[in-house]
Amino acid sequence: MTKIWFITGSSRGLGRSLTKAVLKSGDKVAATARNISQLDDLVQQYGDQILPIKLDVTNYEQVYQTVADTIKHFGRIDVLVNNAGFGIIGAAEAYTDEQVRSQLETNLYAPIEITRAVLPYMRKQGSGRILQISSVGGRVGNPGLTMYQAAKFGLGGFTEALAKEVAPLGIYVTSVEPGGFRTDWAGASMSYAPEIEGYDTVKQRTDFFKSGNFVPVGDPDKAAQVMVDLAVHPAPPVHLVLGSEAIGILKNANQTRDAEMETWLPVSLSTDHDEAADFLNSPQGQWYTKNNKK
């Protein structure tokens, strides 16, 4: 059966690769972007398979109207992809207030609100797929990306909790976590906070990205095809890391975290109440611990 996709940030980068892959597969797309003229070539090629819609994802009135317009046009939304986003590099204290807000509003609040706008329709359908385009930076922190990664860590937590919440409703939710891909994310789309003295760790990252020496290993077209396949997979993962670079980064981070937890384990365990076992061994405690597992 032909699926109806709703994709944000469809005009460039990974979003454009995904939009093209979805159209090529025969599915239909509500392709949203700030500048929909960049989708004109796809409209000419695919006709009524694609519905281009101008959308500022931080304008919630537009968000709900766009979702309603998509339902009116196509009748349903089967796959939501929250892809729109961008990064700003800088020291945490150096960001302007506007830059802080823009990182959280675009990369965290917007995908949450778009998801909330689509969920009632998926709930009534009894089915749906939601792909949150996060980042390996939503699992591992790096200097210079505090605000971007605060948003992505938040999105990952929202996604993981939501996946458990809506699974009984027939809705699958996946956090897609790419490493570096050959898009303009680290190039033309990257912004920078004002520079301040003393932060060599941030300066190193800023200089590296500005140097043009960063050559991402990820292929956005291959990632797009993975997501098209994911939309029909009978048991999609809650977290899907994309790219060998991201896998290496995450494995190293997990080893460091596990070692740190083991080192501090006696301190962690020392804080239990003397009567903790009474609750943990009770039916209520067993339910609580069972339902807080990943």
Question: What are the catalytic residues?
Answer: 134, 148, 152
- 8 A C-beta contact, residue 28 and residue 49: yes
- Beta bridge partner(s), residue 80: 6, 130
Contact 93, 196 (CB under 8 A): yes
- Residue 172 CA to residue 194 CA, distance in Å, equals 40
> What residues have CB less than 8 Å from 116, skipping those under 6 apart?
none
Positive or negative torsion for Cα 64, 65, 68, 73: negative
Per the listing, tokens 């009894």 go with 126
Structure tokens at 231: 């939309």
- Cite the DSSP H helix spans in the chain: 13-25, 40-46, 60-74, 97-104, 110-125, 146-166, 200-211, 220-230, 244-263, 265-269, 276-280, 283-290
**What does the alpha-carbon distance between residue 88 and residue 156 come to, in Å, rounded to a whole number?**
19
Contact 133, 85 (CB under 8 A): yes
Cα separation of 226 and 246, whole Å?
Answer: 16
